[in-house]
Every structure is written in C-alpha cells, then in structure tokens.
Amino acid sequence: MKIHIDKEKKVPVYLQIVGQIREHIFDGTIASGYTLPSERLLAAELGVHRNTVSKAYHELRAEGLVFSYHGKGYRVAIDEDSEPANLQQDVPRKPVNWEGIMKDEYAVLESEFDKLYSKSFDGGVISFGGGVAGREPYPPEEVAGMFEKIFKEGREKAYFYSPYRGDLQLRKQIALFLAGKGIKADASQIQIFSENNQSLDFILNLMLKPGDKVLMEEATSPDVFRTFEVAGVELISAPMDQNGMICENLENVIEGEKPAFIYVGSSFNNPTGTVLTLERRRKLLELSYKYRIPIIEEDEASELYYDVKPVPSIKSMDPGNNVIYMYSFSLTMMPGAGVSFVVADKSITERFSDMFSLRVASPDWSAQMLTLEYMKTGQFFERLDAFRDLYRKKRDLMCSLIDAFAQKYGLDYQVPDGGVYLWIKLPPGWSARSLLRETQKRGMTFMPGHLFYTKPSRGNDHIRLNYSYPTEQQIRDGVKILEDALAHKKTD
C-alpha cells in the first residue's frame, strides 16, 4: 500500500491518507479483510504524527470502509462477510468521526503529566507527583465550622453568584495582602480566578494570537507551556541555572525574536525550586521597559520561604503597569480551595470581567467566602507560618532520607530554600521514564523531568519529587521505594 503525502497541499494530511486508502480499496489494490498498518507504523513511514493516522483511520471507519478490533488494529470491510457481526447490514450507519472533528492541538496534547498528577488522590498509591497543599494546617472539622458560620451569618453573597470580577471584600483583603508584599494595587486592578491555569488562559485569549512569540524560562510547569501551545503561540526557551532564568543574553534574543510577552515563575520555580535573583528581576524589568514587552510573573510559592528572606517580586518594583502578576492560594490554603487572582492594569481587569460574563458567569462564591473569612480574621497569616514549618519539616525529612543513598547511586540535587519540590539529577545514562516504571510497580509515582520541557528529548535525566502533600510516613515509605527501584535499575 503506497501513500504519498504532499504537505504543500491545502488538503489536511489525514484527508490525503483517507483519500488514497479509499482509492486503493475501490480499485481493488486493497482487498476486503486486508489488515492496515498500525497507526504507529504508518505514522513513522509517512513522517507524520500518530494522531494524524488515527484521525484518518477513524474517518475510514465512519465511512464503513474499515472496522477495528481491540488489540488487532484495522481491517478493510467492503462486503458483508468481513463486517463485524454486531452491525446490521440493512441499516446504513455513518457514525460521527469525533477524532476528526476535534482540533489537532487538543488531540496531540500531552496527558502524562495529568495522569501522574491525579495519582495524588489515589489512596492506594504514594504520590510524589502532585503539587498540592498539605492537609494538616486546615483540619476538616474547622473548615466545616467556618462554612457553617458563613451560611448562618446570611452573607449578602451567600447562595448567589459573585460579581464577574470577584467578591469586592475579598479583593480589598487581597489588596492589603499585596501591600505587605510591596505591591500597590486597589480592588479595581484585581481579578479573581479559580487557578493560575485559568488566569493564564484568559491572558492569552485576551492579548495573544496564533503565531505570537513568548519568551519563557525552561524548565517550567507543563500546565504553562501546554496553554501557550494550544493557543498557537510560539515558545522561545530561556535556559536556567541555580539563580533562575539566565538574563545575560536576553537582549539579543528579544531583538532577534521580538516576543510579545515574557513569562517567568520568579519564586521557587516549578520544578527546579530556584529563585530568580534580585539582580535578574531588575534586568527583566529593564528589558520590559526598553522594548515595551509585558511580563507575566507567576508568584504563587513566594510565601513558602524557609531558610532565606523573600526576594521582592518584579511587580513590586514595577513603576508603571508592565507586569501582570499571577498568584494562587493552592499551596497556602486547604487543598482544593480554588482561589487565585491577577493584578494588572485596570483596562485589562475590565476586559477580564467581560470575558467572565461570556465564559464562566461567576467565580466560585464559596471558595471566595472561605478565603475572605480566613484572611479577614488573620487566621490565613497564622496558617502561613504553619505551612512553612510543616513544609520545612517534610523537606528536611525527604532530603535526609535521600542523602543516605544519594552518593551510592550518583544522585545530585540542591536543597531548596523554599517551595515544595526537589529537582534531582540522575547519573549519566539513567532514564527517569525507566525509573518511574520501577517505582510504579512498587506503588509510588513522581514526575519525570521530560514533562517540564517543550521538547520531550530533554529532561529525562531529572526527576521532580513533591513533599507538601504526602504525609511523613508516606515520605518514608515512598523514598524507600525509590531506593529499591534505584538498586533494581543498577543491577539491570
């Protein structure tokens, strides 16, 4: 079966495959019962993505020209004898080709990160793969009591939608919180979201178009670069070292690539745990004003400092409004609280409000009321201290356990000054993917490093371990599993 792909044609590649296979079937080149090549094999032969072949095969199946058997691939079916027995021959069927209808950018979206992340909530697995707040500082009975108090007081907003921009009283409390971080903003410059992923999606939809370029530090969370990629944005990767994004050569990159935005996680980067130095923050801001390039600063882990004083945010040094500041309570409230916010020029937050009215209708009022109550009473700030103590203790426990065998297996890492992740380099020749398979057999998951790079060929020599969510006993058990898996791989 010969298929020729012309990528210069306007006809989508998957339809070119469909057309040529259809022609081979009708002219008798391919007989009824013929087994088509596997999706992977044909994709490799044609030099296309596997999902492209999958869409073509689904289209042929929808046309009734092929049928599939689970685990056996696709076969040509052009007479009654070759049709699956459960199909009624007297009723023509043309099922919808859902694979063909879905946008390509979603069909090829990498989902391994999401699957490993979801293991955080699987009671039968020890997960170092999440990035979720610890449960200890917010006892369930206390949170339930706080909800009861909110309901009984008969708040004006209780049982109702909140304003598109978010509850006014919460935004005022956030403004006070920001003042303590050196950021001057009033309630009109603050937009409430459920999570930073949502706020980034709104920013992209409001201000970027397919083909625009964004200068982004790498490694970074896949939630970030996948959002950019789905929006059709071209990513320009800026390398990092132990002091965060390397800024020394950025001016040449900016002049050559002309990015529309700069994205940076300034404090305790996910996954590396690095903090962008004050000098580099100032350099980024200088470049922003020189070239009129806005900065998106993600800063959700900035309160989780243990051994050093926090570095002022880029936003706090911004004399105008060049910086869009994103913050989430996901690591400093109870898991699943679902409140984040963006600080930006008022013209931007007004547009966010309009977008909310079209796309979401209302931020979740219950999460907002809970966050407001804890902030207003000062309990949120007390819990920040509790989180710092808890996470520091868990970090020290995980590090001490790993240090007992790190040298033996050639592991290398820097103890982070804060945040919730360890970023560990494996010895030369070792594979994070292979190591993950071994730990999963034993009941523990983590995030392999390649998930934090836009090119999956990079990062396979690193692993990311989260210590905020697992209990101390789970950390002990999970690190023992890691040691066992390392010993197994070394003897392979």
d(C-alpha 278, C-alpha 267), whole Å: 11
Rg (CA), the chain: 26
Span between the terminal Cα atoms of the chain, in Å: 41
Provide the CATH number for the domain around residue 32.
1.10.10.10
Which residue segment(s) compose the domain that 295 sits in?
A: 140-381
Residue 452 in tokens = 């934090």
Q: What is the pLDDT of residue 305?
A: 93
Q: Could you tell me if 341 and 405 lie in one domain?
A: no
CB half-sphere exposure, 225, CA atoms < 13 A: 24
Provide the CATH number for the domain around residue 273.
3.40.640.10
Burial of 410 (0-12, 13-18, 19+ CB in 10 A): middle
Q: Could you tell me if 155 and 39 lie in one domain?
A: no
**What is the residue type of 171?**
R
Residue recorded with tokens 């009708």: 26
Q: Could you tell me if 290 and 145 lie in one domain?
A: yes
Contacts of residue 346, Cβ cutoff 8 Å, sequence gap at least 6: 188, 189
Q: Could you tell me if 399 and 347 lie in one domain?
A: no
d(C-alpha 419, C-alpha 272), whole Å: 10
Q: What is the pLDDT of residue 80?
A: 43
Domain count, the chain: 3
Query: In a 3-state reduction of DSSP, which class is residue 146?
Result: helix
| Domain annotation covers residue 154 | yes
Q: Could you tell me if 300 and 323 lie in one domain?
A: yes
Q: 182: left (phi > 0), else alpha (psi -120 to 50), else beta?
A: left
Query: In a 3-state reduction of DSSP, which class is residue 337?
Result: coil
Contacts of residue 168, Cβ cutoff 8 Å, sequence gap at least 6: 187
State which of 328, 347, 381 marks the end of a domain. 381
d(C-alpha 233, C-alpha 298), whole Å: 18
d(C-alpha 120, C-alpha 99), whole Å: 30
Instruction: Report yes or no: 463 and 446 within 8 Å, Cβ to Cβ.
Output: yes
Mean pLDDT, consecutive 10-residue stretches, the chain (492 aa), reads 81 86 84 83 85 85 77 68 49 65 62 65 77 81 82 61 84 95 94 90 90 92 86 90 92 94 94 95 96 95 89 94 94 82 94 85 81 91 91 96 95 94 93 91 91 87 93 95 87 49
**What is the residue type of 186?**
D
Contacts of residue 490, Cβ cutoff 8 Å, sequence gap at least 6: 409
Q: Could you tell me if 366 and 341 lie in one domain?
A: yes
Q: Could you tell me if 225 and 344 lie in one domain?
A: yes
State which of 365, 381, 397 marks the end of a domain. 381
Q: Could you tell me if 123 and 150 lie in one domain?
A: no
